[in-house]
A and B are shown apart, each in its own frame.
Chain A
Amino acid sequence: GAVVSQHPSWVICKSGTSVKIECRSLDFQATTMFWYRQFPKQSLMLMATSNEGSKATYEQGVEKDKFLINHASLTLSTLTVTSAHPEDSSFYICSASPLWSKNTEAFFGQGTRLTVV
């Protein structure tokens, strides 16, 4: 199957700093990638849709100035958590659908666990 790689797998940062998370599709291209957030024992909450070459579309209640998304190429999207606070600690997961699948299949990265201290 198609592989989506996230980096880093985990990160600990100080409150007030910014953290960048990368999402790469390793063996396919994707015009659209999705960013999710998962709180402990809860489902995945869609944060935003990342579109290659254009601005991301954010879900209601998600601060676009806090969660900066850049989709620079067909294989890379980045999520930057700016001025992180302890309440931003969470598990962040990205997904992508290969162009060849015509949006039938969605593959996920392994997730990034962010801990803000």
Chain B
Amino acid sequence: GEDVEQSLFLSVREGDSSVINCTYTDSSSTYLYWYKQEPGAGLQLLTYIFSNMDMKQDQRLTVLLNKKDKHLSLRIADTQTGDSAIYFCAERRGRDDKIIFGKGTRLHILP
């Protein structure tokens, strides 16, 4: 199919790690992105990974890419209340350079 798939909800206790998973479709995708959207706001680019990389770490964020399975994950260490948002996975398709988004995962932080 043409869709980027993500689970819709994730609940995590404050201080624990959050792992948000995503599967994409285009084996020729060049870049894969994670965006954060807070209520009523636009998208904030959190991080991205080039398709020939396996992992990228940026402070509390770790991105893992399994190109064979077309699986991408975002790990947020020491999850805080400010991390509560919707997280979108997106791929930049190689064939037409368009960015296609998943439906977003709503991260809920439990006290």
Residues of A within 8 A of B (CB): 1, 6, 34, 36, 42-44, 46, 49, 93, 95, 103-111, 113
**Given A103-B97, A104-B50, A106-B33, A43 and B43 contact (CB-CB distance below 8 Å):** no
Residues of A near B30 (CB, < 8 A) are 103
The answer on a CB contact under 8 Å between A105 and B42 is no
**Given A43-B88, A111-B42, A106 and B99 contact (CB-CB distance below 8 Å):** yes
Among residues of B, the one whose C-beta sits closest to the C-beta of A111 is B42
Please report which residues of chain B, range 31-90, place their CB below 8 angstroms from some CB of chain A when the two chains form the complex: 31, 33, 35, 40-45, 48, 50, 88
Residues of B near A105 (CB, < 8 A) are 45, 48
**Given A106-B33, A110-B41, A43 and B48 contact (CB-CB distance below 8 Å):** no
The answer on a CB contact under 8 Å between B45 and A107 is yes
> B98 in the interface, Cβ–Cβ < 8 Å?
yes
Number of A-B contacts (CB under 8 A): 47
Residues of A near B100 (CB, < 8 A) are 46
Q: How far is the CA of A106 from the CA of B104 in the complex (A)?
A: 17
The answer on a CB contact under 8 Å between A93 and B102 is no
Chain B min CB distance to A76 (Å):
17
The answer on a CB contact under 8 Å between A42 and B103 is yes
Taking A34-B99, A106-B99 as known contacts, 17 extra A-B pairs with beta carbons closer than 8 A to each other, sorted by chain A number, are A34-B98, A42-B103, A43-B102, A43-B103, A44-B43, A46-B99, A93-B42, A93-B43, A104-B31, A104-B48, A104-B50, A106-B33, A108-B42, A108-B43, A110-B41, A111-B42, A113-B40
